Amino acid sequence: MNKRYFIFLSSFLFSILSDSLYVVATMSIIYKKTNSVLLSSLSIVVAMVGYSLGCLLINKVISSLLPKSIFTYNRCIRIFLLLILLLSSSYNISIILLLTIVFLIPIFTGMDSVLEYAILPKFGEDYTKLNSLMSLTRNIGEMSSWAIGGILVALLGENITFIISMLLLILSVILIQYIYLPNIKSTKSAQDKKKLDKKSFSIILHNKINKRVFAMDFFDLLTTGLWSSAVLLEIIIIKYNSDRITWGISYALYLLGGIIAGIIIYKWSYYFEKISSSVLIISSIIYIIIISILMSTDSIIMLFILLFILGFPEQGKEVTQVSLLQNNNNEDEMIRVFSTYNIFQTVLFSVSTVLIGYLVDEFSINFAFIFCLLLSSITLLVAFSFKLVR
């Protein structure tokens, strides 16, 4: 693996850490101002909407700027917005202004996230290894950032947390300057460009691999959102009468399983690429088995073990699906495919977290798990339809 990819991953990690820190600090400020958990959590929803918008806007920007320029400009704008957020938090600024800034920052994060997947093939030909490292880096960032954010806010306050978030982004910008990022080849003809814009969904629907990846991800994301929310309800409210610290531990174990799986995939990426369709099938079967046990277990230790194991098939599916998309789309198509893919993931996961509340209220927690099993079974059927793609 070349040196510039590790520099790119370091920049990527600092960006992830920065995003989580400012969101935690903003949630803390809003809670102190309103004493409302609902309004505090609203910052996450607003950030997700901004992120989705950024995934759409990258299509308009990529044709006029080099990838390095986009990464640099976007992160510099985020630093400027964080500075405004820092200054705003020092005064009695309205919640609306705070949420507006929280909405704007993820727009540029969303643009970067699409470009990160699209630019990845520029670093080498072993997409499975490249994707496993990127996913591994993201899991490490997510597992540590929320805990670090909470500790920083508690010990040093929101303003210092904002400053640290800005410093991390500055480091990210500095690192990105040390690597060469070639341009994404784009359609030269204006007429062809216009046609391609109209065919963003057509690229997915008329490519068998794209269509199957999106179909599988549709059921898989609904399942993931449902079981994760169901486990949260089960731990905190229904079965174990525990607290959010227990949920934090269980989520950390899930991410830890994904991290270990990422290391395994990286080590034996050549073999994983050869059995990509089998990875999807085996991962789906493991999912069904574990969700079945989750539904019936009464031991919180067993639940922790199951969530740790669940990180393995989730990581395997994610790396394989992204590699399939990269292998089966040219550079111009890749931006549009991953733009749609990221929005697809954000929207579906949001829908599933709302759906779980309805299922539990109207039926029961066990019914929600049964519904997860149904969705997982459909995911398995889609996985069987895949052919090996080299």
What are the tens digits of pLDDT across the range 302-338?
Answer: 878 888 888 888 888 888 888 888 777 776 677 778 7
Average pLDDT over residues 265-294: 81
Pair (201, 179) in one structural domain: no
Same domain, 330 and 365: yes
Reported as a pLDDT band with limits 50, 70 and 90, residue 125 is confident
Tell me what pLDDT residue 390 has: 42
Percent of the chain surpassing pLDDT 70: 80
Q: For residues 100 and 205, state if they share a domain.
A: no
Cα–Cα distance for residue pair 51/110, rounded to 1 Å: 4
Over residues 109-132, mean pLDDT: 80
pLDDT band at 166 (very low <50, low <70, confident <90, very high): very high
Is the pLDDT confidence value at 375 over 80?
A: yes
Residues 51 and 147 occupy one common structural domain: yes
How many whole angstroms separate alpha carbon 122 and alpha carbon 129?
13
Domain that holds residue 377: 196-384
Res 170: pLDDT: 94
Average pLDDT over residues 18-24: 85
Q: Are 130 and 116 in contact (CB under 8 A)?
A: no
Q: Is residue 118 part of a domain?
A: yes
Report d(CA 54, CA 369) in Å as an integer.
33
The number of distinct structural domains making up the chain is 2
Question: pLDDT-derived band of residue 64, with 50, 70 and 90 as boundaries?
Answer: low
Query: Domain containing 166 — which CATH number?
Result: 1.20.1250.20
Q: Is position 190 within any domain?
A: no
Q: Is there a domain that residue 107 lies in?
A: yes
At residue 240, the pLDDT reads: 59
- The set of residues, in sequence order, having a beta carbon less than 8 Å from that of 232 and lying 6+ positions away, is 247
Does 41 map to a domain? yes
**Taking 60 as the threshold, does the pLDDT of residue 346 lie above it?**
yes
Give 218-243 pLDDT, tens digit per residue. 888 777 767 666 666 555 555 555 55
Give the pLDDT band of residue 387 (cuts 50, 70, 90).
low
pLDDT at res. 76: 92
CA nearest 389: which of 347, 328, 303? 328
Between these two residues, 261 and 270, which has the higher pLDDT value? 261
Asked if 160 and 200 sit in the same domain, the reply is no
pLDDT higher than threshold 80 for residue 69: yes
Would you say residue 54 lies in a domain?
Answer: yes
Alpha carbon distance 198, 193 (integer Å): 9
Does 28 lie in the same domain as 79? Answer: yes
Token couple for 36 = 């409302």
Q: Is residue 242 part of a domain?
A: yes
Say if residue 65 is in the same domain as residue 210. no
Mean pLDDT of 88-111: 82
Domain identity same for 284 and 237: yes
- On whether the CB atoms of residues 272 and 128 are closer than 8 A, the answer is yes
| pLDDT > 80? residue 282 | yes
Cα distance between residue 251 and residue 231, in whole Å: 10
For 146-208, the DSSP string reads HHHHHHHHHHH-HHHHHHHHHHHHHHHHHHHTTS--PPPP----HHHHHHHHHTHHHHHHTSH
Residue 129 lies in a domain: yes
Kindly tell me the number of DSSP H helices and DSSP E strands found in the chain.
15, 0
DSSP string, 299-331: -HHHHHHHHHHHHHHHHHHHHHHHHHHHHTS-H
Q: Tokens 């830890």 map to which residue?
A: 256
Whole-angstrom distance, CA of residue 223 vs CA of residue 23: 26
For position 44, what pLDDT does the model report? 73
Domain shared by 271 and 211, yes or no: yes
d(CA 5, CA 11) in angstroms, rounded, equals: 10
What tokens appear for 336 in the block? 């549009």
CB 111 within 8 A of CB 57: yes
pTM for this structure? 0.73
Name which of 80-84, 144-148, 322-326, 371-375 the model is least confident about: 144-148
Domain end marker among 183, 204, 237: 183
Q: Which of 183, 207, 236 is the last residue of a domain?
A: 183
- Residue 333's nearest CA partner among 205, 215, 218, 217 is 205
pLDDT at 79: 92
pLDDT single digits (tens) 181-207:
766 655 544 555 555 554 666 677 777
pLDDT (0 to 100) of residue 331: 67
Contacts of 243 (CB under 8 A, 6+ apart): 236
Tell me whether residue 7 is in a domain: yes
238 and 366: one domain? yes
Q: What is the pLDDT of residue 40?
A: 66
Among 232-236, 270-274, 286-290, 321-325, the range scoring the smallest mean pLDDT is: 232-236
Both 72 and 172 in a single domain? yes
Q: Are 255 and 323 contained in the same domain?
A: yes
* Chosen domain end from 183, 215, 241: 183
